[in-house]
Structure 1
């Protein structure tokens, strides 16, 4: 093998090496680009999900596209407060119905509501309601929510109608508490939790005989 042939072969090897190196670099760059695009798509999807809010309908929240949760917070907070009080104070003389309503209500509040529920149960309030064939309904008069400071303060004004076999009593209801943001769930679609809940007033307004 002469020197010229050796140089040609070495040149061919060098060219092949440069070709392989260039091809490898292109493959790496392409793979990196695809990986970056995948990461961008994933982060964009997560960001869109985090910016999802819920639209109210029939006391429930349904997914809707929006820029931030704050856009719908006022409506969601009011509906959450209303939903809790309706569940907690709307009672029929049926143990299963009472258990269903109070269980759903307690998903929306913290131990402050559970403590009041336990006190009522220990005083046989629910048992007496069933035994006496009494049912309670609730009318919402107004709900005040202050979103200027977190956790959010609220006040609930309502009217109770307590119906017994022979009489019907109208009672005033005033409650207050605070709202804390939590994760949304099947049992808490608004992602809010009532805390420091207390009943400020619950007194008889009038009683009339039923015909």
Structure 2
């Protein structure tokens, strides 16, 4: 009888110890999982100082922001390449900025225009070029785009508006100060560049 009671007590103690050990394992695994989740969440959060006031922002992956960044990159390149003034230093500055965003196809177009005396003509006629983006058609899977815009050319006596359509592809590259979106335009070409309206400036 005593032996039987002893066996029952040993069995009971074994069961209790087993449950206790299982509970410890569950608590330990849960604690590790919770800590890992908290660390991952913390790494996704960034604080930005605005006038010494910390503002919490959420980190996102490039896949989540590709559409916005790609459109911004394309528009930025066209702004630098097609916004021109009768100032050789300004032209060199904008072209230098544009060349960081495009491959050799952009440089080839720049060199062709330069050889034809296009930029010298701008300074000689005091023309001012500005570009307005109408829309950008983007295929994220193929990383291909078509840019639709209008270029305004203001000269001493008239204002000319041209329709501009270009196309190309996007390639991922490391982000730098000169290329903040981490994208590079490749195989860039002009599909359409034609006059659509010309107005004579009033003489006062």
Same fold (TM over 0.5): yes
Q: Which residue of 2 aligns with 1:156?
A: 147
The two structures have a TM-score, normalised by structure 1, of 0.69
- Deviation digits for residues 104-153 of structure 1 (CA, Å, limit 9, x no counterpart): 0010000000000000000010011101100101111001111123xx00
Q: Which residue of 2 aligns with 1:74?
A: 67
SS of the residue 1:203 aligns to: strand
Out of 93, 110, 114, which is 1:121 matched to? 114
Separation (CA, whole Å) in 2 of partners of 1:67 and 1:104: 26
Following superposition, which runs of at least 4 residues in structure 1 exceed 4 angstroms of deviation?
none
Separation (CA, whole Å) in 2 of partners of 1:206 and 1:130: 22
Q: Which residue of 2 aligns with 1:175?
A: 166
Out of 48, 73, 91, which is 2:84 matched to? 91
Separation (CA, whole Å) in 1 of partners of 2:109 and 2:60: 38
**Stretches of structure 1 lacking an aligned partner (at least 5 in a row):** 1-43, 53-63
Separation (CA, whole Å) in 2 of partners of 1:67 and 1:108: 22
Q: Which residue of 2 aligns with 1:131?
A: 124
5 Å matches for 1:44-59? none
The two structures have a TM-score, normalised by structure 2, of 0.71
Separation (CA, whole Å) in 2 of partners of 1:67 and 1:166: 50
**Stretches of structure 2 lacking an aligned partner (at least 5 in a row):** 1-38, 46-56
CA RMSD across the alignment: 2.0
Equivalences, count: 153
Separation (CA, whole Å) in 2 of partners of 1:174 and 1:67: 32
Separation (CA, whole Å) in 1 of partners of 2:199 and 2:122: 19
